[in-house]
Chain A
Amino acid sequence: MTEEEILQQHKIRLLENNPHLTEQDAEVWAMAVESLSKPENRKEMFEISPELEAQLKKLVGR
């Protein structure tokens, strides 16, 4: 799939799921969606230790 086709897919999905969206904004947000799929554009997550994860599991009853 070409990049253009991928962006078009994102745009269609955005317009379907967000009735308030203009076509112009959907085009920009489609680029943002694609940008966020690249690792260098992801937020660094803070490290959750096994001990912390165990406490969080208890919190949500898992």
Chain B
Amino acid sequence: MDIEKYDFIEKYDFTLDESDNKISYFFNSIGIKGTIKKSVIFETKNGFVYQMGLGDFDPITQKTDFKVMSNNGDMKKVIATTMKIAMDFMQKHSNDVVGFSGNEIRKTTFYQRIITNNLDYLLQYFEIHGVFSLNEMEIFNPEKQYLGFFFKNKKQ
């Protein structure tokens, strides 16, 4: 699958909920499979590193699935929306770090390709670090394979 550069302009409207220290964003993905309800969550254990997750909410089962890849044919728009959500979150949490990874290597590799192909745009706003072992991270290097990623607002 080709991963192009994103213009980050075409995105879905999103909805924010903050309750009981849980921060969740929601949007509708509209594509070949119809409307899929998407959730983006931010969770923290230590109060300054938030882990971001993207999942599908099923109104019938009332369960959220973070492992699924919905393939609704609107990947660019979903990724652009998720990135805009991350930017919105980081505006409100300007001194915190956001981390994410895929729940499997295939997804993590996919996310890395998106970062690499849109690096110039992302580096305008963020410092990006790659996690390469359980204990080590470094400034993001597109030539290396990472286990996860941390984003921090760029110092202005």
Contact = CB atoms under 8 A, between A and B. Distances in A.
A56 B97 contact: yes
Given A42-B43, A45-B51, A59 B131 contact: no
A53 B15 contact: no
Interface residues of A, number: 37
Interface stretch (B3-11, B61-69, B75-83, B116-124): B61-69
A25 B57 contact: no
B41 A36 contact: yes
Contact of B62 (A31, A47, A62): A31
Main secondary structure of the interface of A (DSSP, over half): helix
Contact of B15 (A21, A31, A43, A61): A21
Contact of B22 (A13, A36, A47, A59): A36
A37 B15 contact: no
Nearest to A61: B95
B101 interface: yes
Interface of B: 13, 15-20, 22, 24, 26, 28, 37, 39, 41, 43, 45-46, 48-49, 51, 53, 55, 57, 59, 62-64, 66, 95-97, 99, 101, 103, 127, 129, 131, 134-137, 147-148, 150, 152
Given A32-B39, A36-B24, A59-B129, A41 B17 contact: no
Main secondary structure of the interface of B (DSSP, over half): strand
A18 interface: yes
A18 B45 CA distance: 27
B48 A45 contact: no
Interface in A20-61: 20-21, 25, 28-29, 31-37, 40-49, 51-53, 55-57, 59-61
B143 to A, nearest CB: 21
Contact of B43 (A21, A45, A60): A45
A52 B39 contact: no
Contact of A32 (B24, B95, B97, B127): B24
